[in-house]
Structure 1
Amino acid sequence: MKFIEINIINLYKKIIKKYYNNESFVLFKKPYENKIYFYSCSNNRKIKIKENFFLIGSFNHKNIIKIYTNEIYFIDIKKIIFSKKLITIPSSFLDISFSHLIYSYEYKKLLKKAIRFIKNNYFKKIVLSRIIKIPFQNFYLKKTFQKLIFSYPNSFISLWYDFSYGFWIGASPELLIKCNNKKLKTVALAGTISTLENKNKWTKKEIEEHKIVIEYITTFLKKYYSGILSIGKTKILNLGTIAHLETPINFSFFKKPNFYEILENIYPTPSICGYPKKKSLDFIQKYEGYNRNFYTGYFGPVDKINMELYLNLRCARIKMDKKEINLYAGSGITIHSNVDQEYLETENKIKNIFSKFIFN
């Protein structure tokens, strides 16, 4: 695989050309790194190496996108000053109060139903989400991407485009799996509080919710694979106005595994679905009321010996034909959940990403 450093102006030219040719592409920055990578896929399909691509999977496994590339372009953030030239999407933004966009009744009713199911021992935890739709006039993709990079250095920042699914942009805090040879790294990330209101006061609810994810991942690895398991110290991941509990988990395999098999079986984890998995999925599909599409799906770079995938969280879909932005957020529900608090959590998550969007 060939890595090529590129300047910011030439990168913008490539993005614009790919977009007008209806060709898939992705821009992304990994957590704590200072490089922005660019993958693009040509419609002429003249791809020499089929083992290097950016993988994007939907929540329901029905839609898979692979952006194959022969050359990976990158820019060093430390070397550049971002241009004032902006990629804009003209549309019809309406000045609507944010609180009016978030209609609570149906979502709260869903949360109450889930808690009843938990009390009846149907499942221990479930993650339920909602979507809000915001019309806009001028939305600045480039400037928003830039703001996400500098606002959330500890997140996976992405902007990708596919002709069938449009633009998606986001700042995900959660690694799904990072695999290399006989090594696997993942994290249990669950439990959310507002840093403005709670000042790192974690309740029994967040701790239990987080513990369910740890137990699911460690049980899965020990049950299906032989190797050495290492569980790191739980820490607090701060993301602006919200914070999560995060526990690193590492596994050293005695025999090199099939990473695609691991992905197929470990996903979706209780951090974005629930536990037990099948009952949680059944409930989501029956009652959540909308198609998550690529929200809570996974994405990341893949090559012959590496796979590094993140969950698609804190994201938005830019629907140019309908001239609207779709924003998503979810909350993990346990027996200790309070409906109003869970609703407020989704509101805080939406604001956490929406507050970085640049409009005119």
Structure 2
Amino acid sequence: MSTEISVFSLYKKIIKNYYNHNNFVVFKKPYDKKIFFYSHYNCSLDVKFFLIQNFKHDHTIKIYPKNIYCVDIQKLDKKTNIFPSFWEKNSSFLTDSCKYKKLIKDAIENIKKGFLKKVVLSRFIKIPFRNFYFKNTFIKLIHAYPNALISLWYNFHYGFWMGCSPELLIECHNKKLKISALAGTIWGSKKWTKKETEEHKIVIKYILHLLKSYKGSIHIENTKIIKIGHLKHLETLIHFLFYEEPNYYEILNCLHPTPSICGYPKKKSLDFIYKNEGYERQFYTGYIGIVHQNNMELYLNLRCVKIKEDKKEMILYAGSGITVDSNIYQEYMETENKIKNILSQLVFK
């Protein structure tokens, strides 16, 4: 159960926990009408907690709340759009593309040689800032992307992370499981091609192969197109009803990272990423969400930005799935557009 509080009370709780260096998270689930707030409280009670896991599975944050608070989003001030975003003030903002394009070229060559079928390669950009509006940016994200998980979390060692993820990794309750296969991206007037559909099928096959180890009934929904801002993605929801309740932690550990953020085969893709990507993803492409005993609702940490208050610097991340049919320039532009998805919502003075 959660306790509804005023917007002002929520801001006070955020500020208090930040100054006390206490872990906290503010989030809104897709299509939900409420924002939830968890702050860490040292307890061993059997309660819900917010789980934050990095890409490599070697750093885990668990936020156990003493109380769960919520705010009705209708009570938020919608006038924040009067503030200019970083993108609006810096429409000519460009990033160095040579290194990433070479990385894509190397990946395509490895795929053509038969070493891989798909590998997801990512990059980051850094932008300096002076005065950043956390509140206004969070509200803009809520209104811009109602079908995404909007999150802002803080940890003393890892700083602030904010994101708007469109991808459900796993949702499970009792014997029911739901997984989203989300891969394949276009924008503007672009049309779907074999590249996007084949990339999407790789993710579906991977999930189905994993579920073959369990006894139960499966239902695969028709593939649909979802929109996140100016981007379109292919999504297929996969449902599984187990005859006996499984160990969902076991499934989660086998599932992540999926081919939508890593590639296929998994081990070879990970090896390529670790050897060639040239930086630590940290919590980008990890997962975040609610856990209660064996029940989970976790999302991939995508379209996210790491905010380093001490250095007045932000790091934004994006990736694209490389296959044999990839076009180097189009893959690069996909990352530009994904970065723009969140960059366009950042609010500064």
TM range (shorter): over 0.9
For residue 170 of structure 1, the aligned residue among 154, 160, 163 is 163
| Structure 1 residue 352, shift from structure 2 partner | 1.1
What TM-score, normalized by structure 2, do the two folds share?
A: 0.95
Give CA deviations for 1:276-304 in whole Å, capped at 9, x if unaligned: 00000000000000000000000001112
Matched, 1:204 2:204: no
Question: For the structure 1 residues 206 and 149, does the alpha-carbon distance in structure 2 shift closer, same or farther, using more than 3 Å as the test?
Answer: same
Counterparts of 2:49 and 2:2 in 1: how far apart (Å)?
A: 13
Consecutive unaligned residues of structure 1, counting only runs of 5 or more, are: 86-92
Name the counterpart of 1:70. Answer: 66
Matched, 1:22 2:57: no
| Structure 1 residue 24, shift from structure 2 partner | 0.4
The one-letter code sitting in structure 1 at the alignment partner of 2:195 is K
Task: Tell whether the 8 Å contact from 1:101 to 1:132 is kept in structure 2 after alignment.
Answer: no
Task: Tell whether the 8 Å contact from 1:101 to 1:134 is kept in structure 2 after alignment.
Answer: no
Count of aligned pairs between the two proteins: 343
The one-letter code sitting in structure 2 at the alignment partner of 1:214 is I
Name the counterpart of 1:277. Answer: 266
Counterparts of 2:302 and 2:240 in 1: how far apart (Å)?
A: 24
Give CA deviations for 1:189-224 in whole Å, capped at 9, x if unaligned: 000001x232xx2000000000000110011111x2
The one-letter code sitting in structure 1 at the alignment partner of 2:107 is A
Matched, 1:81 2:72: no
| Structure 1 residue 70, shift from structure 2 partner | 2.4
| Structure 1 residue 50, shift from structure 2 partner | 4.2
The one-letter code sitting in structure 1 at the alignment partner of 2:118 is K
Matched, 1:290 2:283: no
Counterparts of 1:115 and 1:84 in 2: how far apart (Å)?
A: 46
Counterparts of 1:81 and 1:26 in 2: how far apart (Å)?
A: 18
Name the counterpart of 1:241. Answer: 230
The one-letter code sitting in structure 1 at the alignment partner of 2:144 is S
Name the counterpart of 1:38. Answer: 37
Q: Secondary structure at the match of 1:216?
A: helix
| Structure 1 residue 83, shift from structure 2 partner | 8.7
Task: Tell whether the 8 Å contact from 2:28 to 2:149 is kept in structure 1 after alignment.
Answer: yes
Counterparts of 2:91 and 2:101 in 1: how far apart (Å)?
A: 18
Name the counterpart of 1:134. Answer: 127
Give CA deviations for 1:75-118 in whole Å, capped at 9, x if unaligned: 1113x133989xxxxxxx9x995655410000000000000000
- After TM superposition, the runs of 4+ consecutive aligned structure 1 residues lying more than 2 A away are 81-85, 95-101
| Structure 1 residue 68, shift from structure 2 partner | 0.6
| Structure 1 residue 141, shift from structure 2 partner | 0.5
RMSD (CA atoms) = 1.6
Task: Tell whether the 8 Å contact from 1:8 to 1:82 is kept in structure 2 after alignment.
Answer: no
The 5 Å alignment of 1:1-360 reads: 2-42=1-41, 45=42, 47-78=43-74, 80-82=75-77, 97=90, 101-194=94-187, 196-198=188-190, 201-222=191-212, 224-360=213-349
Counterparts of 2:139 and 2:306 in 1: how far apart (Å)?
A: 17
Q: Secondary structure at the match of 2:11?
A: helix
Q: Secondary structure at the match of 2:234?
A: strand
Give CA deviations for 1:19-62 in whole Å, capped at 9, x if unaligned: 000000000101011011100014xx2x2524421000000011
Name the counterpart of 1:90. Answer: none
Q: Secondary structure at the match of 2:189?
A: coil
Task: Tell whether the 8 Å contact from 1:118 to 1:124 is kept in structure 2 after alignment.
Answer: yes
Task: Tell whether the 8 Å contact from 1:49 to 1:70 is kept in structure 2 after alignment.
Answer: no
Task: Tell whether the 8 Å contact from 2:248 to 2:294 is kept in structure 1 after alignment.
Answer: no
Counterparts of 2:66 and 2:227 in 1: how far apart (Å)?
A: 36
Counterparts of 2:60 and 2:76 in 1: how far apart (Å)?
A: 35
Task: Tell whether the 8 Å contact from 1:28 to 1:36 is kept in structure 2 after alignment.
Answer: yes
The one-letter code sitting in structure 2 at the alignment partner of 1:197 is S
Name the counterpart of 2:83. Answer: none
Counterparts of 1:96 and 1:291 in 2: how far apart (Å)?
A: 29
Counterparts of 1:309 and 1:241 in 2: how far apart (Å)?
A: 24
Task: Tell whether the 8 Å contact from 1:48 to 1:70 is kept in structure 2 after alignment.
Answer: no
Q: Secondary structure at the match of 1:139?
A: coil
Task: Tell whether the 8 Å contact from 1:220 to 1:266 is kept in structure 2 after alignment.
Answer: yes
Counterparts of 2:39 and 2:239 in 1: how far apart (Å)?
A: 31
Consecutive unaligned residues of structure 2, counting only runs of 5 or more, are: 81-85
The one-letter code sitting in structure 2 at the alignment partner of 1:116 is E
Counterparts of 1:171 and 1:25 in 2: how far apart (Å)?
A: 17
Counterparts of 1:84 and 1:340 in 2: how far apart (Å)?
A: 38
